[in-house]
Structure formats: C-alpha cells, structure tokens
Amino acid sequence: MAGQTLRFQAETHQLLELMIHSVYSEKDIFLRELISNSSDALDKLRLAAYQDKDLVADTSDLHIELVPDAEARTLTVRDNGIGMSRDDVVELIGTLAKSGTAELRRKLTEAQEAKDAGASAELIGQFGIGFYSSFMVADKVTLVTRRAGEKGATRWESSGEATYTVTDLTEDEAAADADVPAQGTAITLHLKAVDTDDSLHDYTSEQVLRQIVRRYSDFISFPIRLGDETLNSMKALWTRPRSEVTDEEYAEFYRHVSHAFDEPLETIALRAEGTFEYQALLFIPTTPPFDMFYRGYKTGLQLYVKRVFIMDDCDALIPSYLRFVKGVVDAQDLSLNVSREILQQDRQLTLIRKRLVKKVISTIAGLRETDRAKYDTFWSAFGSVFKEGLLDDAENRDAVLAASAFESTALQPGKVVGDGTAALTSLAEYVSRMPEGQDKIYYATGESRRQLESSPHLEALAAKGFEVLLLTDQIDELWIAGVPEFDGHELVSVAKGEADLGDDAAADKVDEFAPLTAWLSEVLADHVKE
C-alpha cells in the first residue's frame, strides 16, 4: 500500500533542532531512550497478556535486540513487545508534532539560554520525546511495528524535516516483509557519517554499543542482545528482598557502582511505597577514597528512573558530609527535564533526600550499639567528614552529634575499658559517667591529644574527677561554636578559661598559690596591674 505523507506543523523542524542540539548533551542518550521505550513496550505486553487471556501474543522470550550493519551504516533496535497500531503511531510518535506549539518551543528556547530544559514532567516517558533523539545520530529513521494480536502492520519514516510518511501494511504485505516483526517494534536508524577520528560515536561498532548499554541500561529487566551475546546484567539488586541476595552479590555490586576495590562496611537497602515510589541500595565503604578531601571530589548517588540510568553523582540526593556513601536510587516517577538529564527540585526529591539522610545517620548510630568494631572502623575512616554535618545540617544536627564519637581523658587510645567500651566515647556515654556535682560537658580543642594532655587547663578538672573531651580534628574548632549543649548539658571549653569549677575549687586554687602571687605582685609591680 502506498504511504501517506503527512506534514509537520511549520515550527516542528525548529523544535527538533532545539531538541537535538540543545536539550541533549550526549549523543549516546538516543540509545538509552530507544531501549527504555522498548522495555516499556515489553512490560505493557506482559501486563496485557496477564489481563487478557485471549490475547494472541508470544511472551516466552521477551527481549530487546540490537542489529548494527557497518556496511549499510544502520542500527536497528528491535523488541517483541506490545507494538503499536496505526493510530498509536500517529498519536505517540506525533506527540512532538502535536506538542509543537509556540509554548513548548518557547520553553525549549528558554532552556537553551538558561541551560535548564524545564519542560513539563508529563512529556517524560512519552514515546515521542525520546524517540526523536534518534535524529541526533541519524539522517533518516524508519519504524516498523505490529501490535500484538493484530495481523496488519504500520511503517513510519522521516528524515526529521518537514514531513513524515505513514504506510499501512496488510497481513500479506507484512508477512512478505522481513523487517516486520511478528509483534513489537523495529526502529532502523540510517546513521550519519562519522569522522574517522570519532570512533566513540560509531554506532555500528559492537564495542561502542556494549559500553553504552552497560552505562545506561545495564539493569533493564529484559535481556538486551547483540547477536548471541546478552549485553546487560539485569541484576538490579535493589529490586530484590535482602533475604534473597548474598553478601558476595552485594559486595560485587558495591564495587561496580563505586569503582572501588574494598568490601562494603555496611549495606543499607530501603523501599518507599505510597504516593510516590522509590528504592535505594546504599553502601558505607570500609576505606576512604584517596581524593575524598580534594576540591574536585564528586558527591552523590547514581540515579535511575524505572531501572534506566539517568546520571552519576547526583548530589541532590545526599549532602556533602555523607559523600562517602555510594549506591543507587531508583525512582518510579520524578520531575525530570525533557531530556531526563537534570533533576528539577521538587517535593519528591526533597523527601527522598530527607529519608536517605536519616537512614544513613541511624545506621551509623546503630553500628555503635550493635557492632563496635565496625563503628570504630567507620569513624577512623570517615569521622572527620561525618562531623561536617554538625556545621551544614541544622535539621539533623542532634542526630549527627548523638552518632559521633570523641577522644576523652577517661579513655586511652587503642585500649578497651572493662565494660567493653572502646577508646572513643559518645556524648551519651560521657554523660552516663559524669560524677555527682558535674552538670556540664567539658572539652578542649587542639592539634593533638599529647598537646592537650599537657595543658594546665586540665589540671583542675582532673583534680575534681571531671572527664574532658579531646577534640583534635580541624573541623572541631568550627562546629563546637554552634553546638551549645547536648541533652540539657552545656558544652564548655576548658582551654578558653570558660570552665566554672565552683567556689570551693576557686578558693582552693587561690590559697594554694597565694605565696607565689604575692611575690609576683611585688616583683612585677611596675609592669602589671594585678
């Protein structure tokens, strides 16, 4: 049957130009978008077959297939999912054309100028938007599709300019065309010429395709095949109950997402359901990365939406003082921009961040109660970073303070006291040891424990049997000024003459040094007032 040529709206070509050259920052994203669309189609077929037992569809081997042809300069992305009818093609592929109004064009133009594509979240996940990213790498795109249970098929073709062609294929025509799938969709990209020096963007290269799939689509739940090879792992461990995953699998996944070689010290898995859904799998490392304190160190977690990779190092999900935490967050629905590349700040994102932060802090606090050896390992590696939260996170300051540990005059480093308490003390443990008559928490700041222990400021407190916290990290001088008390007990510096030991102690000191002060007053009468 002859195809019907339809004309885009007058400004659609300009809209495509904005999409291709401004919204997407990486050409490789086109393959992520096409694979994501195929995965959605496979999910829809599985659901349709479950709901309609009479649906004539093959669900025995649902998969996505990549077929590169270097000689013809084409790449085909094929799935055996739900497929589309002619009406679906016009409606879904035409989303961009139907949305190609002056309003959407204005938004994308503003996005180009502001480098923030703030189009509405409703566009995300609609087939048309991701599909048109194909024109970043292709001069022409051909789509052939057959809806599951139907006999005829539909072909769509366009060069991304003024027109597109839609052709209805009868059952006989579809049967005679090797490109028409029994069910599902095949998209063939007629690729643009590639500079001989630009091998990273040769999408007929099997190695390039492997790298893109592993980066963006490794955890898609359906196999992505290249010939006889399955490219993706499909091991989205965060979707499985913790009881079904071994420690070895978690350790392997941790090394995969963190690019580290150590073992995870602790694994945190959580799931939220309700008004919005997300899953997270987080890891606290055993050893710190060498560049954790460098200015260029990247903070954040990997972000996925429905198992599709969106970005590395999403710092909107985790604060800087928890930058040692590695892992992934997989959300079912987030307000992304039209290219899915930049998150827009919204209520969902804020709530996810809040829950992740509280969960990490409570996990660290729990380690101190349940596994002191693990906690000590954590604190040795990340304690000074964790205490940055006392400066930066007013909302969780009390929880961070309660989960923190400090050296003390009552505990010797490297030793364990009789009750099993380690050489570092929490503030709660300090308070539990306070003798009768002490109502304040005393601390001293300095460069080292040796320096502080030799300070005369500690003598009077030692004589009274009062314990002193020894704060020797650089961050301690900063946060302590903003934390006036803990559990109703004032934090008082002994190094700045702030400690009030009571009238008796003061009188004892005056009496003890009376002969010396009298002699000094006489000798230095011309130089000092008192």
Q: What percent of the chain has pLDDT over 90?
A: 48
At 112 the pLDDT is: 46
Per residue in 52-77, pLDDT tens? 888 999 999 999 999 999 999 999 99
Q: What is the DSSP string of 397-433?
A: HHHHHHH--BEETTS-TT---TTS--SSB-HHHHHHT
Residue 368 CB partners (closer than 8 Å, separation 6+):
375, 403, 405, 426
- Residue 41, φ and ψ in degrees, nearest 5: -65, -40
Q: What percent of the chain has pLDDT over 70?
A: 80
At 251 the pLDDT is: 94
Q: What is the pTM assigned to this prediction? A: 0.75
Rounded Cα distance between 233 and 215, Å, is 11
At 231 the pLDDT is: 97
Residue 118 CB partners (closer than 8 Å, separation 6+):
107, 110, 111, 337, 344
Reply yes or no on whether the pLDDT at 199 is more than 80: no
Per residue in 245-292, pLDDT tens? 999 999 999 998 888 889 999 999 999 887 788 999 999 999 988 878
Rounded Cα distance between 510 and 512, Å, is 6
Sheet with 308-314, side-by-side order of all strands: 264-272, 278-285, 326-331, 301-305, 308-314
At 128 the pLDDT is: 45
For residue 386 the two structure tokens come to 């964790």
Per residue in 138-183, pLDDT tens? 999 999 999 999 999 999 999 877 788 999 999 999 888 888 999 9
Q: Please state the rounded mean pLDDT for residues 297-306.
A: 85
pLDDT range class, residue 462, cuts 50, 70, 90? confident
Q: Please state the rounded mean pLDDT for residues 205-209.
A: 96
pLDDT range class, residue 346, cuts 50, 70, 90? low
Reply yes or no on whether the pLDDT at 315 is more than 70: yes
Indicate the residue type of 171: E
Query: Higher pLDDT residue, 376 or 347?
Result: 376
pLDDT range class, residue 10, cuts 50, 70, 90? low
For residue 373 the two structure tokens come to 């050896």
| Average pLDDT across the chain, whole number | 83
Indicate the residue type of 127: F
